[in-house]
């Protein structure tokens, strides 16, 4: 990992965690179990890439001040919610997440479903505080049937079936890239970015998100269980529609490299692009 990214993560992760702690209900607030489940899933060691992207996009577009933190947290809450529901027995049925029992393994299925629902509600409460009401529709669009939900539906439908590169791209665009796109757009919109700035970051985040999911698919084959904190080989076992399954491991790796190059080229010249270039390079070298 490049120095600039290491520095950004060590600065932002504790900062974002403090804001998340402020927004999440306390564990001793009744009904305690749901608040414990929400906090268990949010504070289990995620990389916080999406909220960092929100903040960096805000700064990239000239934004200043603390108004961006509730928005960055809202995006992370949505991400945590998506992981809880993704792990459920009716979905990917994963027992582990980030090296710990997944939410439904720790709290039971009903509480896990409700913890996801509650994180969803809290995220929109935070987004609704923003001055610009475009943020609510940006995030709603990214997670609805044209985004995460739609991607997840096709992901389930294509389990065990022969898949083409286009099928997998359709899933990746929605299941993964959409939330990265919403992250940078929310940051940029809050900073009052111009249409060309928003378009540049949108293109970047789409390519970034597609490459990120390809490397996620690759790591499910070649990664380490300890480093990833979840089971390896589960995609193959469940007949998942993955990029390596559609085109082979070698082409999947070269496609990820191509997308990362294109992502970096999408960034407008004359802006401070170091963070976005470093996090893009990280996608290709990541082991977790
Ligand atoms: C409407 C939010 C919502 C969800 C319902 C369950 C579902 C539909 C969608 C699943 C989406 C999903 C889990 C996509 C995978 C994205 C992905 C690559 C997650 C891993 O991201 P990292 O590596 O995770 O950033 P950490 O652990 O670092 O936070």
User: What domain range includes position 93?
Assistant: 2-285
Residue 97, helix vs strand vs coil: strand
pLDDT tens digit sequence for 45-69: 999 999 999 999 999 999 999 999 9
Share of the chain above pLDDT 70, in %: 100
Q: Is the pTM of this model over 0.95?
A: yes
CA-wise closest residue to 283 among 188, 201, 219:
219
CATH at residue 57 = 1.10.600.10
Torsion of CA 230, 251, 286, 101, to 10 degrees: -10
Confidence (pLDDT) at 264? 98
Distance CA 198, CA 64 (A): 17
Distance CA 15, CA 10 (A): 9
Nearest CA to ligand 1 atom 29: 46
Q: Is 103 in contact with 51 (CB distance < 8 Å)?
A: no
What average pLDDT does this structure show over 113-125?
A: 98
Q: Give the nearest ligand 1 atom to 49 CA.
A: 25
Confidence (pLDDT) at 287? 86
Confidence (pLDDT) at 224? 86
Distance CA 85, CA 157 (A): 16
Q: How many domains does the chain have?
A: 1
Distance CA 268, CA 197 (A): 7
How many other C-beta atoms are found inside a 10 Å radius of the C-beta of residue 111?
21
* From 9, 48, 85, 100, mutation site for ligand 1 pocket: most ligand atoms within 8 A of C-beta: 85
Nearest CA to ligand 1 atom 2: 82
Which residues sit opposite 100 in a β-bridge?
Answer: 97
């Amino acid at each position: 990992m490049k120095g600039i990214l290491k520095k950004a993560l060590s600065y932002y992760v504790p900062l974002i965690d403090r804001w998340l702690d402020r927004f999440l209900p306390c564990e001793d607030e009744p009904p305690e179990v749901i608040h414990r489940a929400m906090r268990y899933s949010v504070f289990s060691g995620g990389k916080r890439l999406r909220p960092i992207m929100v903040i960096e996009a805000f700064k990239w577009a000239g934004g200043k001040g603390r108004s961006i933190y509730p928005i960055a947290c809202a995006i992370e809450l949505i991400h945590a919610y998506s992981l809880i529901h993704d792990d459920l027995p009716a979905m990917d049925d994963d027992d582990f997440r980030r090296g710990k029992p997944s939410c439904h393994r720790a709290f039971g299925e009903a509480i896990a479903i409700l913890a996801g629902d509650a994180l969803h509600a809290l995220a929109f409460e935070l987004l609704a505080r923003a001055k610009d009401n475009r943020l609510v529709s940006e995030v709603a669009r990214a997670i609805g049937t044209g985004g995460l939900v739609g991607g997840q539906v096709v992901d389930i439908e294509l389990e065990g079936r022969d898949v083409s590169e286009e099928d997998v791209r359709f899933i990746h665009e929605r299941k993964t890239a959409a939330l990265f796109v919403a992250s940078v757009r929310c940051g940029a919109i809050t900073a009052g970015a111009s249409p060309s700035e928003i378009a540049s970051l949108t293109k970047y985040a789409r390519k970034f998100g597609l490459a990120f999911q390809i490397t996620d698919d690759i790591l499910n084959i070649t990664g380490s269980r300890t480093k990833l904190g979840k089971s390896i080989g589960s995609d193959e076992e469940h007949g998942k529609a993955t990029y390596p399954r559609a085109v082979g491991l070698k082409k999947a790796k070269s496609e990820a490299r191509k997308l990362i190059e294109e992502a970096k080229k999408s960034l407008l010249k004359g802006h401070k692009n170091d963070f976005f270039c470093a996090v893009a390079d990280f996608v290709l070298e990541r082991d977790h």
